[in-house]
Amino acid sequence: MSDAPRLILILGDQLSPDIAALRAADPGRDVVVMAEVRDEGTYVPHHAKKIALILAAMRHFAAELVDHGWRVAYTRLDDPENRHAISKELMRRAEEYGAEEVIATAPGEWRLRSLLDHTPLKIRQLADDRFVSSEEEFAAWAEGRKSLRMEYFYREMRRKTGLLMDGDQPEGGKWNYDHDNRKPAEADLFMPQPLHHQTDDITREVLELVEREFPETFGQLRPFWFATTREGAEAAAEWFMSEALPRFGDYQDAMLEGERFLYHSLLSFYLNVGLLDPIALCRAAEDEYRAGNAPLNAVEGYIRQIIGWREFIRGIYFLEGPDYPQRNGLEATRKLPDFYWTGDTDMACVRAAVTQTIEEAYAHHIQRLMVTGNFALIAGLSPQEVGEWYLAVYADAFEWVESPNVVGMILFADGGMVASKPYAASGAYINRMSDHCKGCHYSVSKKSGEGACPFNPLYWDFLNRHRERFQGNPRMAQMYRTWDRMAEDKRKASEESAAAILAKLDAGERI
The pLDDT of residue 174 is 95
Angle between helices 135-142 and 311-320 (to 10 degrees): 80
Instruction: Give the mean pLDDT of 468-490.
Output: 95
Q: Which CATH number fits domain 7-126: 3.20.20.140, 3.40.50.1100, 3.90.380.10, 3.40.50.620?
A: 3.40.50.620
The pLDDT of residue 187 is 81
Q: Is 351 helix (H, G, I), strand (E, B) or coil?
A: helix
Give the torsion sign (CA, 492, 494, 500, 502).
negative
The pLDDT of residue 2 is 66
Q: How confident is the model at residue 155 (pLDDT cuts 50, 70, 90)?
A: very high
Query: Which tens digits make up the pLDDT trace of 216-235?
Result: 999 999 999 999 999 999 99
**Domain boundaries in the chain?**
7-126, 135-318, 339-507
DSSP characters over 278-305: HHHHHHHHHHHHHTTSS-HHHHHHHHII
Instruction: Give the mean pLDDT of 240-248.
Output: 96
Angle between helices 201-213 and 48-67 (to 10 degrees): 140
- CA 243 to CA 265: how far, in whole Å? 10
Q: How confident is the model at residue 254 (pLDDT cuts 50, 70, 90)?
A: very high
The pLDDT of residue 17 is 97
Question: 48's torsion region: left (phi>0), alpha (psi -120 to 50) or beta?
Answer: alpha
Give the torsion sign (CA, 362, 363, 364, 370).
negative
The pLDDT of residue 1 is 53
CB 127 within 8 A of CB 106: yes
CB 124 within 8 A of CB 103: yes
Domain spanning 339-507: CATH 3.40.710.10: no
Query: Which tens digits make up the pLDDT trace of 24-40?
Result: 999 999 999 999 999 99
The CATH architecture one would assign to domain 135-318 is Alpha Horseshoe (1.25)
Instruction: Give the mean pLDDT of 435-459.
Output: 97
DSSP-assigned beta bridge partners for residue 334: 381
The pTM assigned to this predicted structure is 0.96
Instruction: Give the mean pLDDT of 10-20.
Output: 98
Query: Which tens digits make up the pLDDT trace of 288-317?
Result: 999 999 999 999 999 999 999 999 999 999
Q: What percent of the chain has pLDDT over 70?
A: 99
Task: Decide if pLDDT at 189 tops 70.
Answer: no
Give the torsion sign (CA, 12, 18, 21, 27).
positive
CB 197 within 8 A of CB 239: no
Query: Which tens digits make up the pLDDT trace of 267-281?
Result: 999 999 999 999 999
- Report how far apart, in Å, the C-alpha atoms of 477 and of each of 91, 186, 369 are: 58, 33, 22
Least confident residue range of 112-126, 188-202, 402-416: 188-202
- CA 154 to CA 309: how far, in whole Å? 8
Q: How confident is the model at residue 179 (pLDDT cuts 50, 70, 90)?
A: confident
What does the mean pLDDT of the chain come to? 96
Task: Decide if pLDDT at 464 tops 90.
Answer: yes
Q: What is the largest CA-CA distance in the chain?
A: 82
Query: Which tens digits make up the pLDDT trace of 118-134?
Result: 999 999 999 999 999 99
The sheet carrying 123-126 orders its strands as 71-75, 31-35, 7-9, 102-105, 123-126
Classify residue 331 by burial, with Cβ atoms within 10 Å: 0-12, 13-18, 19+: exposed
Q: Is 508 helix (H, G, I), strand (E, B) or coil?
A: coil
- CA 184 to CA 204: how far, in whole Å? 39
Q: What are phi and psi of 141, to 5 degrees?
A: -65, -40
